[in-house]
A and B are shown apart, each in its own frame.
Chain A
């Protein structure tokens, strides 16, 4: 108990945390200090190894991991609990949403889904000029960033072209805020090339929005719809995810003598342990926490039956490279066909495993496979099915190597493509890349525009040996990366950055 008291005291007196951040961490610590479920020995061991991980969601889950209220329904009916009449104009609609957001829980304490904004606000925009809509939404956008300072608070727009969608794109490129996260739904049957060009030009300016393959998502879910939330999780609308448990494929590969043993023995064995933990967690949430007595359920904004457990995986790259080595091969994930084929085989196998297990507290009685984005405390293991940072081939090869995985991950999968800043004066290249990627079956297109120190300029090639030399020199200098910047900020400003990601940082305390 002393250990817990020390921890709680440490949080309370931490000079680097704001009072809200303290409250969050105190709650997380308290939840983590409760006794855990009576796990099997196998599961306990797997969790100690880090092979099965509960992402520090807490030992007594009192809220679902992600909640996606049907905001459209809310705007049509108002809320009895919140004593709000149904809004009749744009200002009232924005006011209602602003209020409801603070009553939508998630693993971070902040709403991970803010709604399909252009769809739900468009009915209220009649009679308003473009400039007025822009003005009001701009204030709304600033409010979101200053009152919900988590990187994974997420807005969806598209695939239709409308004044709200365009206003949001304009505002997002202008303000370049971290919050909210933004996804544009792209449907080749509906979205014009001109609108997609606008979207990809935005990506060149501020690395947002993400572009979702709308037909692919739409066909995964049902008529009631879906939302893209947090980083890139896709889940049922009017529902969400009750829990996320993830499997470390690198560890599973390390404990397999061969690729055959991996498929026949170790993978199925560890995969089962993930189900065991999912069942404990969902049972507690649905049977004991009382969450589903919430007004969100009573007023029909979410339904208990529409919550899906997410079956997360990560470390695909390392798993493939380890298994290749065990087979005596030098093939590398992301680079050689043999390795890429093995990766796809693993994804396909995981799909079968997940489809075969019936779960009680699960939408369609099944978990949803998810390519998990990693935690900042992960060391030596790559998120999801991504190619390790620093080992990526050029963007086209990158996309081609990974596109085949995407069909297997209904709850979301995303690669981060790093594109040189030279694309800013040739935004057509981003457009072409995005269109090509989605045509190839990528579930989502995410690009980060940032220059490596060696950038290709027109008409010439950079030698691989130069890149190697540069990397060796670079490691001796201070390199800027999120971690280093944050460390500097913390040191200079003597506080944690205003906007962080509670999810990514969840392993750090």
Chain B
């Protein structure tokens, strides 16, 4: 059958924060953004087998095989994460490969608990052929076709890319990291033109489930451009949810670690401004650091 393999950081069988209901979530390895505020920076890079991590592993769970690739023995790993801390590529040796069948088996085993599955990461759309094959297989399976297939994305995928996965897709949750291109470029390393195009494209095809804003007071420019943000939201179908999350420093590395986490008061103030402008379908996070 298919020998496509996914490069995966982690897989959860229970999540109530990655889409509606209880979902199986796959965090793919590799991202085409390089956000200063990334909470899982070890999912950004692709391992180049430099081997720097081998020396710091106290469990001796890492080694170099004959093909010159770093190999991870998960059975003796105590998850101290020293390897992740030292990795110069923002990557991790603790990744796994899955075939479509591997994941289907896991979904089968847990199907009574699931409302659907979500692909996240990293950026799952960087492994688009795999994701398409996976969603197709789910939709073609009598026991699993009722499970909704969602993508959690940075929105950088082209319209052509979305068009390919559209027939098997139930919903997309898109992160909008900043409004102005300069602010976005600084925060993520990329321009946001394609993000806006993805939002509009998906909305037009009734596949946009949610826009996610991580509110970073004083650093990010959402406050200044709140009117334009409002206009965009009002242009979108009523079914699109707007989720507000508060910036926190958990998991963050580098300069952003020194930035001020967003408090409940700050988030509420931002939400209030949106409410006053007539945006009602907001979901605010319950979690603050």
Taking CB as reference atom, which chain B residue is nearest A432? Answer: B22
Instruction: Given A432-B115, A437-B113, A466-B250, verify A457-B20 contact (CB < 8 Å).
Output: no
A492: CB under 8 A from chain B? Answer: no
* Contact yes or no, B12 A426, CB < 8 A: no
**B169-190 at interface with A (beta carbon < 8 Å):** 173, 175
Least Cβ–Cβ distance between B245 and chain A, in angstroms: 6
Return the CB mask of B1-42 against A: 1 if under 8 Å, else 0: 000000001101111111011110001000000000001100
Return the CB mask of B257-289 against A: 1 if under 8 Å, else 0: 000000000000000000000000001011100
Instruction: Given A456-B17, A457-B285, verify A463-B22 contact (CB < 8 Å).
Output: no
Q: How far does the alpha carbon of A435 sit from the alpha carbon of B115 in the complex, in Å?
A: 11
The interface stretch among A40-48, A214-222, A394-402, A499-507 is A394-402
* Contact yes or no, B12 A394, CB < 8 A: yes
A sample of 7 more A-B contacts (CB under 8 A), given A397-B14, A439-B112, is A400-B110, A433-B113, A460-B40, A461-B12, A462-B251, A463-B251, A465-B81
Q: How far does the alpha carbon of A426 sit from the alpha carbon of B115 in the complex, in Å?
A: 12
Which of A's residues lie within 8 Å of B, judged by CB?
394-397, 399-400, 419-426, 428-433, 435-437, 439-440, 451, 454-466, 468
B79: CB under 8 A from chain A? Answer: yes
Least Cβ–Cβ distance between B133 and chain A, in angstroms: 23
Q: How far does the alpha carbon of A465 sit from the alpha carbon of B57 in the complex, in Å?
A: 14
* Contact yes or no, B22 A459, CB < 8 A: no
Interface centre among A436, A459, A462, A465, by most B CB within 10 Å? A459
Taking CB as reference atom, which chain A residue is nearest B85? Answer: A465
Least Cβ–Cβ distance between B280 and chain A, in angstroms: 15
- Using a Cβ cutoff of 8 Å, how many contacts connect chains A and B? 106
Least Cβ–Cβ distance between B125 and chain A, in angstroms: 14
Instruction: Given A433-B22, A439-B112, verify A458-B17 contact (CB < 8 Å).
Output: yes
B212: CB under 8 A from chain A? Answer: yes
**B237-253 at interface with A (beta carbon < 8 Å):** 243, 245, 248, 250-251
Taking CB as reference atom, which chain B residue is nearest A395? Answer: B14
* Contact yes or no, A458 B243, CB < 8 A: yes
Q: How far does the alpha carbon of A428 sit from the alpha carbon of B84 in the complex, in Å?
A: 35
- Contact-size category for B: 35 or more
* Contact yes or no, B120 A394, CB < 8 A: no
User: Which of these, A426, A463, A468, contacts B16 with CB under 8 Å?
Assistant: A426
Interface centre among B20, B80, B84, B113, by most A CB within 10 Å? B113
Can you give 30 A-B contacts (C-beta < 8 A)?
Answer: A395-B14, A396-B113, A397-B14, A419-B16, A421-B286, A422-B286, A423-B16, A425-B283, A428-B21, A429-B21, A429-B115, A432-B21, A432-B114, A432-B115, A433-B14, A451-B287, A456-B15, A457-B245, A457-B248, A458-B17, A458-B152, A458-B212, A458-B285, A459-B152, A459-B175, A459-B212, A460-B40, A461-B27, A463-B81, A466-B251
* Contact yes or no, B283 A436, CB < 8 A: no
* Contact yes or no, A458 B114, CB < 8 A: no
* Contact yes or no, B39 A460, CB < 8 A: yes
Q: Which residues of A contact B16 (CB under 8 A)?
A: 419-420, 422-423, 426, 429-430
Q: How far does the alpha carbon of A425 sit from the alpha carbon of B19 in the complex, in Å?
A: 11
* Contact yes or no, B21 A426, CB < 8 A: yes
Q: Which residues of B contact A428 (CB under 8 A)?
A: 20-22, 115
Q: Which residues of A contact B40 (CB under 8 A)?
A: 460-461
Q: How far does the alpha carbon of A461 sit from the alpha carbon of B27 in the complex, in Å?
A: 9
Q: Which residues of B contact A463 (CB under 8 A)?
A: 79, 81, 84, 251
User: Which of these, A420, A455, A465, contacts B80 with CB under 8 Å?
Assistant: A465
Q: Which residues of B contact A468 (CB under 8 A)?
A: 79
Taking CB as reference atom, which chain A residue is nearest B243? Answer: A458
Q: Which residues of A contact B23 (CB under 8 A)?
A: 429
Return the CB mask of B187-218 against A: 1 if under 8 Å, else 0: 00000000000000000000000001000000
* Contact yes or no, A426 B112, CB < 8 A: no
* Contact yes or no, B120 A462, CB < 8 A: no
Q: How far does the alpha carbon of A420 sit from the alpha carbon of B285 in the complex, in Å?
A: 13
* Contact yes or no, B18 A458, CB < 8 A: yes
Q: Which residues of A contact B13 (CB under 8 A)?
A: 394, 396-397
Q: How far does the alpha carbon of A425 sit from the alpha carbon of B112 in the complex, in Å?
A: 21
